[in-house]
Amino acid sequence: MGNKRTGMTLIKPWLLAIALAAVQIFGVIAPAHASDLTEAQGLVDRAKATFNDFMADSNYSWLHDHLKEAKGVLIFPQVIKGGFFIGGSGGSGLLAVRDEKTGDWSQPAFYTIGSVSFGLQIGGEAAEVVMMVMDQKGIDSLLSSSIKLGGSVSIALGPVGAGAKGTVTADIISFARSKGLYAGLDLVGSVLEVRDSLNNAYYGKKVRPVAIVIERKVSNPESAGLLAVLRRAAR
């Protein structure tokens, strides 16, 4: 009996150490995951509102008329000066890709944008940004971890103004608003990076953009409102 008690005494500290380690690990990971999930859903909700604002604004008639030609759309609800890289600017947003056969939109994949030149024509420190991805080259570039706009991937400002017309040729066409008005936001040289932590949190497992927007292996029902808005706008 004495030996058994000794054995139990020796085991208990090990069990206690394992239990404490598990609590510490869970205490670090769970809050981080919950925070990322909250941020991701917040971006989805704000992206929906931002997109609705652009679609309700007659100054972006070119965007309205040509959205059905886009293969995908990037929406950044808020790009802030000095918000990402030191001396630069940036924000977080999402990408959705349209299936050309069905017209349906993919689940969102999350990205950051950084090193933006804030040449706002009306002044200001923040802007809403919508980018139309016009060709497969643009989509393919976004499946990598990081891309620089204006390098191998061309980007151009979209026509703005009621009744705006004209042809724009670029892999990506961008539109920006600041305080509800047109903003001349120069995105050449900006860097787009995948936000793996938000993608993983939103879909409950490790997942890359190709699995989200091309293979469509994951889904989150909380994105339904955003996708319905995109679907109606691209008819």
Whether 101 is in a domain gets the answer yes
Whether 178 is in a domain gets the answer yes
pLDDT confidence tier of residue 157, bands split at 50, 70 and 90:
very high
Whether 13 is in a domain gets the answer no
Of 73-77, 99-103, 116-120, minimum mean pLDDT range: 116-120
- pLDDT for 6 beyond 50: no
d(Cα 45, Cα 101) in Å, to the nearest integer?
27
pLDDT confidence tier of residue 163, bands split at 50, 70 and 90:
confident
Q: Which of 2-6, 121-125, 144-148, 194-198 has the highest mean pLDDT?
A: 194-198
Whether 62 is in a domain gets the answer yes
Whether 105 is in a domain gets the answer yes
pTM value? 0.82
Whether 174 is in a domain gets the answer yes
Q: Total structural domains in the chain?
A: 1
> Could you tell me the residue range of the domain that residue 208 belongs to?
46-233
208-221: per-residue pLDDT in tens?
999 999 999 999 99
Whether 27 is in a domain gets the answer no
166-223: per-residue pLDDT in tens?
889 999 999 999 888 887 788 888 899 999 999 999 999 999 999 999 999 999 999 9
Whether 108 is in a domain gets the answer yes
